[in-house]
Every structure is written in structure tokens, then in C-alpha cells.
Structure 1
Amino acid sequence: MGETLRVVLVDDHSIFRSGLRADLDPSVEIVGEAADVAGAVSVIAELQPDVVLLDVHLPGAADAGIPDASGGEAVLRRSSLLAPRTRFLALSVSDAAEDVVRVIRAGARGYITKGSSGEEVSRAVHAVAGGDAVFSPRLAGFVLDAFGAVAGETATASDELDRLSAREQEVMRLIARGYAYKEVAAELFISTKTVETHVSAVLRKLQLSSRYELTAWASERRLL
């Protein structure tokens, strides 16, 4: 299947991880594994893999400060800036439209079910690494339906973003991805107090009441 890809496998069932690892093509090298949100974020940041095979439902989202998200969403939000060149492929037993749409909006490049063969998963990993979007056939319709009005949503999001300064937009995206105030401050080299001031301004300008509403707002507009 071409070049060897470095892959991190994230799933809370060790038996599934072992079985999948044995079935994958030799060109897919599992360089790390994790079973929960915190472990996944840590190993992804450390190893900077080409692709992450990510279970949608993982324990630890609440501990990561994102209680309203699935575990897979939480990993995506926390890892997007820590590993900017890494691509994410969701792998789940669920084929529910809500699960598919939420992880794609959070940043996954594809979504396939755990009924896929090792060869199918391997091909999907290579496709995602190459920049393609990959979905199990029955899931593609959900994605088309969910993003059919992207042009209109993009225009609306652009108008709303015009209310924010460039720095406020930077803070908004990090907060919406689940970063704590101290983490935002470290990322942008500003004080925690300044972050708090920017967040207050963002919420006021967008007429939102909490960081969780901000995350939902940004996710709906594909700004994460």
C-alpha cells in the first residue's frame, strides 16, 4: 500500500486493539496506543503520528474538561494544535448519524465502522494520510446531509467572526477546542487575566453565555 505510516490506535478495549493490530497491513505501523482521553492526548502529542485511529466513545471526556463531548471529540479538540499535521480516522461500532457528524465537525477526516476488515481499515488509513476523506458507504449520506448547506453556513460564520478582533478569534478557537485558560495563555504568550478578558468579550459579542455554548457555536460553523 505504499509508504509505511506511523499510527496511534486509541480504543478502550485491549482485545480490539490487539485484534486490529494483527489484521492491519504491514505498511500501517502502530507506534502507540491509548485507552482514554488523557492517554490519547499525551501519546499523540509525544509521537506526532501520521494518523490516529480513534474510537468515538472513550472514557475521560469529563476529566479533560469537556463533559458535553464524546471521548473521541475531546481527543480531537485537545490534539488539533498539539499535533497539527496528524490526521484522524474515527473507528466505531456506532453508525448513528449524530456520532458521525459530531466527530467530523470536530476534525476527523473519516469515519468507518468496526465491522470493516483489516484491509479496509489499512486502505482508509492511507487515504486519510493522503488528504482524502473516507467513510463507510452507508455513512456517506449522513455527511452529505449534514454539510449540504456549508456555503450558507460559511458566509454566516464569516459575518459573525467580523465582530471579533484577530486575537479574540485566536482565543475563541482554543477555548472552543477545550483548552483551559492557563493553556491558552501559554499557547499565545499572554496572561491568564488577558485570556479571561478576551473570553468575556467573545461571549458578549457572540451573545453566548458559557464556553460550552461557544464550543457548540464554533462546531456548528466548522471553526474548530
Structure 2
Amino acid sequence: MYKVLVADDHAIVRSGIFYLVNQQPGFTVVDGTVSGTDTYLRIEQGGIDILIMDLSMPPGESGLITTKRIHDKFPKVKIIILSMHEEQEYINRAMSNGAMSYILKSSSDGEILTALKHVVNGENYLDANILITKSDLKQINASGADVNLKGYNVLSKREKEVFPLVALGYSNREISEKLFISTKTVEAHKANISRKLHLHSRVELVRYAIHHHLIDF
């Protein structure tokens, strides 16, 4: 039985996917999350084989970044992106960051089921309504696709979790409660983030986050 996690900030979407997936033999939805940070933390707890995730779950970390963090740390988790974004840039980056499948929310339910069948067989799958060119494939497979994120990539796992929360204006106490760490630890992570990224104020941090598409509002 493949255990599925559904990540979407809209309850009605989660409910629809829960119902659809649970009707399929061999698949069961075990949990749902509403943000990139919560999704990563749930994956970290274990017991997830397949993640069906939206790219935009504001306010919070961009789903593109969450995809890469999960793929880098938990490569066995098969990631299916379910998004309203039809732009090729989003599709290319999602696949480059480790997603195995990209499905459009405007497509029929059958596309999600087809994606599930492909990913359990270790195969990538793009929505039938997506047209991808050879140049797109070259970009997806190109090394160094995240050269603009060299600074961000040196942050630790926990610093990457703290980063979007700081950018979005959460207080130290709110961050500590959300991530189950002390406020002193939050302060230490914030200091490390500023040092590693050479950012000297929250304004600079927010500008960096927006410029590199690290957060959604």
C-alpha cells in the first residue's frame, strides 16, 4: 500500500484529492498539510511514499524550494506537483528540483491517476496538456540550474525552515512554536542566515527572498 501525503492550502482541494486517491487500490492518503514548512516537517516524520503538492501555498516557502529540499533529503519520496501554474518556467524548475510529475489543476482527475501509476513505476510524467520542447528538457537536465541560489544552498536544513518565516514577518516566538525550537535557537539561526547571505536587515532578506522566488505571499 502506497502512503500518500496531500499538500494544498485549500481544504476543498485536499478533500477532493483524498477522495480520489483513496478510491484507488494500492493507495491511501495518510495526511494533509497546508504549507511548504509543514510539508517538509511531515515528510521528515517518515511513512510517506508519494507527495502530491501544490506549488503556491501562501504565506510561506515557495513550493519549488520545498520540492528541492525534500528531494535532496528524502529522494525516495516520489513528488507529484499539482499546480495552477502552466508557465514553462515553473514546470522546468519543478522537474529540475526533483518532481517526478507535473499536473495542471485545470486538467481532469484522470491525469492525477495517470501520474500515480507512472511514479510508482519510477517513471516521470507530464500532464498530457503540457507541451515540452527539446530545449526545455535540456534546461531541466542542465547542471547548475540553481546557480542563483548558491548562497541559499549553504544554509542548513533548519536555517532554510526559519528563512521564509523570518521573511514573512513571524516573530521569534511564533517561529519557535511552529518549529518546536527555543527562541534563542531561532535568534542563532537568524544570525547565521544574515552572515551566510550577507544580509543586514529584514528588508534585505525579504528582497532576497522575493528576487529568488523563495516565498509566496
Tell me the TM-score range normalised by the shorter chain: 0.5 to 0.7
What residue is the counterpart of 2:8 in the other structure?
A: 11
- Residue 108 of structure 1 deviates from its aligned partner by 0.8
Give the TM-score taking structure 2 as reference length.
0.62
Runs of 4+ in 1 over 6 A off after TM superposition: none
Q: Is contact 1:37–1:58 with CA below 8 Å preserved after alignment?
A: yes
CA distance in 2, matches of 1:112, 1:54: 10
What residue is the counterpart of 1:205 in the other structure?
A: none
CA distance in 1, matches of 2:64, 2:104: 16
1:146 matched to 2:136? The reply is yes
Work out which of the residue numbers 85, 89, 106 in structure 1 matches 2:80.
89
1:161-204: CA deviation from partner (whole Å, max 9, x where unpaired): xxxxxxxxxx9895279763899xxxxxxxx9xxx8xx97xxxx
Q: Percent identity?
A: 21
What residue is the counterpart of 1:129 in the other structure?
A: 120
Structure 2 residue ranges without an equivalent (≥5): 163-187, 197-204, 213-217
**1:19–1:181 distance in 2 versus 1, CA, 3 Å:** closer
> After superposition, where does 1:1-224 map in structure 2 within 5 Å?
4-24=1-21, 25-62=24-61, 70=62, 72-141=63-132, 144-148=134-138, 153-154=142-143, 174-175=153-154, 180=159
1:4-61: CA deviation from partner (whole Å, max 9, x where unpaired): 3111100000001111211222432111110111111111111341110010111243
The count of corresponding residues between Structure 1 and Structure 2 is 172
CA distance in 2, matches of 1:97, 1:131: 23
CA distance in 2, matches of 1:59, 1:150: 25
**1:95–1:10 distance in 2 versus 1, CA, 3 Å:** same
- Residue 135 of structure 1 deviates from its aligned partner by 0.6
Partner AA of 1:180 in structure 2: E
CA distance in 2, matches of 1:93, 1:80: 21
